[in-house]
Homo-oligomer: A and B are copies of this chain.
Amino acid sequence: MTTIDTGRTLVADGALRARAEAVVPGGVYGHLRVTADRGMPPSYPQFFARGSGARLWDVDGNEYVDLMCAFGPMVAGYANPVVDAAARAQLALGDALTGPGEKYVEYAERLVGTVAHADWAMFAKNGTDATSMSVVIARAATGRTKLLKAEKAYHGANPWFTPSTAGVVGSDRADIVEFDYDDLASLERAAASVEGDVAAIVVTPFRHDGFVDQHFPSAEFARGVRALADRTGAALILDEVRTTFRVDLAGAWERFGVRPDLTAMSKALANGHALSAVVGVDSLREAAASIFVTGSFWMAGVPFAAAIATLDWMVQTDGLTRMLDAGQVLRDGLQAQASAHGLGVVQTGPTSMPFLRFEDEPRLETAIAFTDAAARRGVLVHPWHNMFVSAAHTPEDIATVLERTDEAFAEVARSR
């Protein structure tokens, strides 16, 4: 790999990695871990000092235009002044109190008014809480046990779903039956294998598994899932944790005319403040009220205040359209640049959640080299996870990205 001296150093970053390694197993865990065994290049920073708009600064003071958006939570810009003013005002009044406040109710009303199928909402902290609660609600409603999910689909970090099986035991997944995404015959076979006992079908609105091209299912598949759920009396759970506010505020399968029974939401809801939600239809209201779910911080006021401000800001600034447009300019620019440098790339997914891979490279060498070259020039991309564009990515931010990626592609092309 050819490298260039960009004058950037990661000295403070290295020191923090060493300190972290001493007091946290593996240093950093989960999706934010930046190590070679996860395909991340050495110039990619692990620790960040601050953010503003679409810009991030690492702990060594290097500036980046960020195309990861904290892996989704950032949708209105880091330190968005409107959202954070709302958070600060609520913090002065109180966050976790001995009961909820008015903003909890107001936000439930707002989500019910935003998501097309939603008659009610419940809130938690993690996306995993939302997907797990959805399954429990479906089981309470149906009195059944089995959950159908797509093979390799990630629906959260509890033992039901994790990609790693370390510490996972047989009972954790005993009631899960897998099908192939966007393959209605496979789904029908899965349902038939546990006929009469399907509590729920959980599905993401499009396939956004790591390493592989993102893929929107056919309308036939989406409608077939709905029809199967209706026929069998199972609940259809749409896992929009990652796609929240990045495809369609009313619901990602509105394009197909398909409405789920339950939607799990999180990530972008409150622009980074910890919040997740389950929204559902009236027929599941009683079941939802019957389950026991709670968390010490689930009714805290600050995330609701931030979430209301985020939703307002997204609607008032037409944030989703601007985000999709910015992503389209980015995609078109990347495609032209790669082509000009003789590199074959495949870009998939909505333009708000770009995934770029280099053709014919199962071991990701070029993707890693490109990620490295981009990071050294102040652009954060990812070699195998979808990226995220936000409504804070201005035309100037995208232009800056494209200036830098052009150089990064050139470097990668030279080294081949």
Provide the A78-112 mask, 1 if CB < 8 A to any CB of B, else 0. 11000010011001111111111110110011001
Chain B residues whose C-beta falls within 8 Å of the C-beta of A300 in the assembled complex = 272, 274
Residues of chain A from 371 to 386 with CB closer than 8 A to chain B in the complex: 380
Chain B residues whose C-beta falls within 8 Å of the C-beta of A69 in the assembled complex = 98
Residues of chain A from 1 to 47 with CB closer than 8 A to chain B in the complex: 16, 19-20, 22-26, 28-32, 34, 45-47
Residues of chain A from 341 to 392 with CB closer than 8 A to chain B in the complex: 380
Let me know if A125 is at the binding interface, CB within 8 A. Answer: yes
Most buried by B among A78, A137, A267, A293: A293
Let me know if A287 is at the binding interface, CB within 8 A. Answer: yes
Q: Is the CB of B28 within 8 A of A100?
A: yes
Task: Tell me how far the C-beta of A68 lies from the nearest C-beta in chain B, rounded to whole angstroms.
Answer: 4
Q: Is the CB of B171 within 8 A of A171?
A: yes
Chain B residues whose C-beta falls within 8 Å of the C-beta of A22 in the assembled complex = 109
Task: Tell me how far the C-beta of A70 lies from the nearest C-beta in chain B, rounded to whole angstroms.
Answer: 4
Q: Is the CB of B19 within 8 A of A105?
A: yes
Provide the A151-191 mask, 1 if CB < 8 A to any CB of B, else 0. 00000011100111011111110110000000000000000
Let me know if A340 is at the binding interface, CB within 8 A. Answer: no
Q: Is the CB of A24 within 8 A of B102?
A: no
**Contact for A132 among B66, B158, B274, B291, CB less than 8 A:** B158
Q: Are A84 and B78 also in contact (CB < 8 A) when A121-B24, A129-B126, A287-B166 are?
A: no
Let me know if A56 is at the binding interface, CB within 8 A. Answer: yes
Q: Is the CB of A126 within 8 A of B295?
A: yes
Q: Is the CB of B157 within 8 A of A169?
A: no
Task: Tell me how far the C-beta of A244 lies from the nearest C-beta in chain B, rounded to whole angstroms.
Answer: 10
Q: Is the CB of A167 within 8 A of B140?
A: yes
Let me know if A122 is at the binding interface, CB within 8 A. Answer: yes
Q: Are A23 and B112 also in contact (CB < 8 A) when A93-B50, A97-B51 are?
A: yes
Most buried by B among A69, A296, A298: A296
Let me know if A273 is at the binding interface, CB within 8 A. Answer: yes
Let me know if A232 is at the binding interface, CB within 8 A. Answer: no
- Determine the distance from Cα of A88 to Cα of B79 in the docked complex, in whole angstroms: 11
- Determine the distance from Cα of A102 to Cα of B139 in the docked complex, in whole angstroms: 42
Chain B residues whose C-beta falls within 8 Å of the C-beta of A68 in the assembled complex = 98
Let me know if A221 is at the binding interface, CB within 8 A. Answer: no
Q: Is the CB of B20 within 8 A of A105?
A: yes
Chain B residues whose C-beta falls within 8 Å of the C-beta of A415 in the assembled complex = none
Q: Are A290 and B166 also in contact (CB < 8 A) when A112-B23, A127-B295, A272-B297 are?
A: yes
Task: Tell me how far the C-beta of A145 lies from the nearest C-beta in chain B, rounded to whole angstroms.
Answer: 4
Q: Are A70 and B98 also in contact (CB < 8 A) when A25-B286, A108-B24 are?
A: yes
Let me know if A299 is at the binding interface, CB within 8 A. Answer: yes
Let me know if A71 is at the binding interface, CB within 8 A. Answer: yes
Let me know if A204 is at the binding interface, CB within 8 A. Answer: no
A-B contact pairs, 8 of them (CB 8 A): A16-B105, A29-B289, A96-B274, A125-B125, A139-B169, A162-B293, A274-B297, A274-B300
* Shortest beta-carbon contacts, A-B, top 9: A30-B294, A140-B167, A164-B292, A136-B167, A96-B272, A26-B289, A25-B289, A25-B288, A274-B297
